[in-house]
A = this chain, B = another copy of it.
Amino acid sequence: MLFFTQCFGAVLDLIHLRFQHYKAKRVFSAAGQLVCVVNPTHSLKYAPTRCAVTQTSTEQGGLPPCHHHEAVHDPQLVPCTCPLFSCPWEGHLEVVVSHLRQTHRINILQGAEIVFLATDMHLPAPTDWIIMHSCLGHQFLLVLRKQEKYKGHPQFFATMMLIGTQTQADNFTYRLELNRNQRRLKWEATPRSVLECVDSVISDGDCLVLNTSLAQLFADNGSLAIGIAITTSKVHNSEAEI
């Protein structure tokens, strides 16, 4: 009996996901655009105490034991950039993507233009929706965060970061677009490097910011569809000069 109940639940979930996927495609109605349904994750970032552990190219299964910072720190090592967890991992920039995929199970999507469909917008803050986006030979991290910067006033913050250095990031422009009910909101900017903390980008407000009321205007049945496009900066600059 329990088996049949679980099967029925799984079928219902599949139908729900399929319906959301169809809705997102209908909203953007752009042939060839990949729609990715992204489920929320409660931020556990502030739970354990952060400590530095060095790991290079191989992934370790469980959480490694904590060590205190060494007196001589390798400047080429990057802490884990996953904004969800206070992860003790630290490694070279080249292996950040594999760490995020394998340890944090963050999906990676290919394509210049994708639609990010964040579900369950009503969940209380802090909540994050995260995905990686592979495009133009680089990997980007898209973070949508619901956070109470001011108590009792949750807001949504969306930004895109390059898994690379800021010099590499300066070559790109990302665009986030919300489009529903004859309203359209577009944000274009240069991505930040993941070497910067996503928290500082949000506290600076240098990202797409939505009040809850505005997010509700763009949401469809509790889901928010965000169109994402990445271009090289030259395109952005030439547009600005028109």
CA distance A204 to B179 in the complex (A): 18
Chain B, residue nearest A241 (CB)? B29
Chain B residues, Cβ within 8 Å of A29:
240-242
Question: Which among B179, B190, B209, B212 is the interface contact of A211 at CB below 8 angstroms?
Answer: B209
Can you name 11 A-B pairs with beta carbons within 8 Å?
A: A29-B241, A182-B189, A182-B237, A182-B240, A183-B188, A183-B190, A183-B206, A184-B188, A185-B208, A186-B186, A206-B217
> Which residue in B182, B189, B209 is a CB contact (below 8 Å) of A236?
B182
Beyond A182-B233, A184-B189, A205-B217, 13 additional pairs, beta carbon < 8 A:
A29-B242, A150-B152, A155-B211, A179-B240, A182-B240, A183-B188, A183-B189, A183-B190, A185-B208, A206-B214, A206-B217, A209-B210, A209-B214
In A166-217, the 8 Å CB interface with B consists of: 173, 179, 182-190, 204-206, 208-214, 217
Is A69 on the interface with B (CB-CB < 8 A)?
Answer: no
Chain B residues closer than 8 Å to A153, beta-carbon distance: 150, 153
Kindly list chain B residues whose C-beta atoms are within 8 Å of the C-beta of A186.
184-186
Residue of B nearest to A214 (CB): B205
Rounded to whole angstroms, the CA-CA distance of A182 and B236 in the bound complex is: 8
A contacts with B, residue count (CB < 8 A): 34
Would you call A44 an interface residue if the criterion is a C-beta within 8 Å of the partner chain's C-beta atoms? no
Give 1 or 0 for each of A72-106: 1 = CB within 8 Å of chain B CB.
Answer: 00000000000000000000000000000000000
Could you tell me the distance between the alpha carbons of A173 and B190 in the complex, rounded to whole angstroms?
28
Interface residue? A10 (CB, 8 A) = no
Docked CA distance A102–B209 (Å): 38
Tell me whether A30 is interfacial, beta carbon within 8 Å. yes
Question: A185 to chain B: which residues have CB within 8 Å?
Answer: 185-188, 208
Q: How far is the CA of A189 from the CA of B178 in the complex (A)?
A: 12
Q: How far is the CA of A184 from the CA of B213 in the complex (A)?
A: 22
A187 touches B184 (CB 8 A): yes
